[in-house]
Every structure is written in structure tokens, then in C-alpha cells.
Amino acid sequence: MGAQSFSHSRNSSAILGLQPSALVDTVATVDWSLLHQIPGERGGSVPVRSLSNPITLFLSNPIHQFNSLGYVQVAIEELECILRELKSNSSFKTLAGGSVANTIRGLTRGFGISTGIIGACGDDQQGQLFVNNMTFNGVDLSRLRMKKGHTAQCVCLVDDKGNRTMRPCLSNAVKVQAHELTKEDFKGSQWLVLRYAVLNLEVIQAAIHLAKQEGLLVSLDLASFEMVRNFKRPLLNLLESGNIDLCFANEDEAAELLRGKQNADPIDAAEFLSKYCQWAVVTLGHNGCIAKHGKEMIRVPAIGEAKATDATGAGDLFASGFLYGVVKGLSLKECCNVGSCSGGSVIRSLGGEVTSENWQWMYKQMQIKGLPTPVENVCN
């Protein structure tokens, strides 16, 4: 499969994100009746394989079972059917998505940190949407390959409490392969941001290998509780390699990581992760976060409304703020507070992209907390 880069030269970026497949999110508000018809647990992120009638979603089709990898895939034609149904009955927003894309877009747009993305998009309408959105927000695309084929898509279903359930479609989506990565992709950067995914394990390992050769630090997000539950051993191998410098887990992912350990709690999870990583962070939703760096462990409360409009991207934008703090040499507590401000900003509206109004809200919260704000509030 041929690939076309957006630039023949690599622009220097402080933070790189590896997202093997560019992804377009359709975020929609739905009621419980729809969520009850979708297999898998609410709040997670499990690719789906097949949809029956787009109106009744999964109700009477016995094929809807997890395969040996714990995944259920959806054909692109069937995904388009469910998208049409959502768009005719729900409030929705379509934008460039994916955990890594959300994090690096936030770093550039809201914090003025130079970022780039490593990955591939298709030569379709969704691929162009991804490119336009990331370019508008200042993310460098010189390491993004355009390939002939489909761009990955994801449906993000948000209930009336702001909780989101994601069902990505990765069927036939183009992706960057391990052998396509080069040392030039990583040269001159400080950090590599990753999201754990067993189907991307080969390219993740290749990226870490090259990044470490170039002296980069590596940040890993644990992705979802299903991913940790079903593929814990490969995850532990990554952690035990000693190549992960910073690890983010939410409360559900932390619980899965320590499943089977008696009376384990988020503090135990932070302690566990800190055995392998310089920084270990467990986010706790409206209860804030716990973080450990070296011998220091702290708990920081959340900032902003207790009730989210949409929790999509909350952890991703927390990571943006935390990484901004690390790059700027802030204390552990300050890093957590910045992360809480940026995580709190994205849940105020639909989708994983912070609006200009909500960036201003975040800057105000940072000022109240006495935190250093980006020069000239860069999103203006």
C-alpha cells in the first residue's frame, strides 16, 4: 500500500504522538434505550464487528460475540448506517479524534507546546477532516502518511450524565506500520505520547525502540479497562521493560490492573506503576487524581463542575496539562493542578476538543490557582 507524506522534511516538535490510525469521532448525545442495546460494558471502548438494523442495534443478531481477542468489528457500510441514525435523532459533533490526537492537539492549541503526530490517514473525506482539524489547531503533520483506503472512525455515545461509551470502527482502516518508522521521525523531540492497544503492539514497540535511541521520554495511557483486563500480560511487559517514563490510568483501568489483589485501591495502583515509571498518575474523575514521582505522592482535587456535559477526552486533556507542567519543570502538585484545569475544560462541552471559550475558562482557573499560564493565552 503506497503512502504519501505531507512533507518531505521533518519539523522539530517537542512532543510527538503516535496514533497509528488517524481517527474521526462522531460524538452524539443518546438516551439509555440506545445504550442498553449495545454489547459491552458502558463507559468502555470496544471495537464492534457487526450491526443488525441500525435502529435496533444488536438486538436480534446472534453474531454479536467477542472474538478471541476480545474485539467485535464493524464493517464500514454498517458504521455509516448507525451514523445516519444518530445524526437524524441526536445532537452530534464530528471532529478529529483518538486519545493521542486529543492530547497533542490540546498541548498545541491550549498550551503553545509544539507537537507532531505519527500515523496514517486514508485518502477519503474522513482523512481530509482529520488533516484539516489538526492543521487548524497547529499540530505538525510532517510525520503523517496518507494512504489509499479508509480512515478509522469512532462513535462516542454520551448519556444524560455526561458519561461516554465508545465503539470504534477499525475495519480496513489504514495505519502506519512498524517498518515505516524511522529515527528521523523522532529526532529533536523530547517526549513520545502513546496509547496502549494490543493490535498496535508491534508499531508501539518499534516506536519506543527508536524514541529511546533518540533520547525521548515515553508517556503511556492505559486506554480502557477492557484493554487492561483482556491484554494485561503484554501491558505488563511494556511496563517491565523500563522504557515507560510516565503512565496514566483512570480509576477503572487501575482496578483492572490490580484485579485479584485484596483491598487494592488507586493509591496501590499508583504505587504499582511507580515501580516501573518515573511518574505514575491515576485519575479519579470528579474526585481528582493521585500521582507519584520519586518518593513524593500527592492527591489533588478536581477543578470545575462535578457534572460533566461530556466526559469524552477528559483523561486526554488531563494528560495535555500534566505534560505541559512536566515540560515546563513544574512541581508534581502543579502538574496535577494544570491537568485538572485542562481536563475540567473539555468536559464543559460535547466532544474531545476544547472550545475557545473553555480554554479561557481554563486560563482563569490556572490564574486562580497561581499556576503559570501559557504566554498570551495561545488559543486567542
The string of pLDDT tens digits covering residues 50-89 is 333 333 333 334 333 333 344 444 556 666 766 776 777 6
Give the pLDDT of residue 39: 52
Give the pLDDT of residue 63: 33
Q: pLDDT tens, 95-110?
A: 999 999 999 999 999 9
Q: pLDDT tens, 319-362?
A: 999 999 999 999 999 999 999 999 999 989 888 899 999 999 99
Distance CA 23, CA 201 (A): 18
Report the percentage of the chain scoring pLDDT > 70: 81
The arithmetic mean of pLDDT across residues 109-123, rounded, is 98
Domain boundaries defined on the chain: 3-22+98-148+174-368
Q: Which residue has the cell 505538525?
A: 140
Task: Return the axis-axis angle of helices 99-111 and 332-346, rounded to nearest 10°.
Answer: 100
* CATH architecture for residues 3-22+98-148+174-368: 3-Layer(aba) Sandwich (3.40)
Distance CA 208, CA 121 (A): 21
Distance CA 223, CA 41 (A): 15
String of DSSP letters for 279-335: EEEEE-GGG-EEEEETTEEEEE---S-SS-S--TTHHHHHHHHHHHHHHTT--HHHH
DSSP, res 12? P
Q: pLDDT tens, 173-215?
A: 999 999 999 999 999 999 999 999 999 999 999 999 999 999 9
Position 167 confidence tier, pLDDT thresholds 50, 70, 90: confident
What are 377's three cell numbers? Answer: 493565552
Q: pLDDT tens, 255-281?
A: 999 998 888 999 999 999 999 999 999
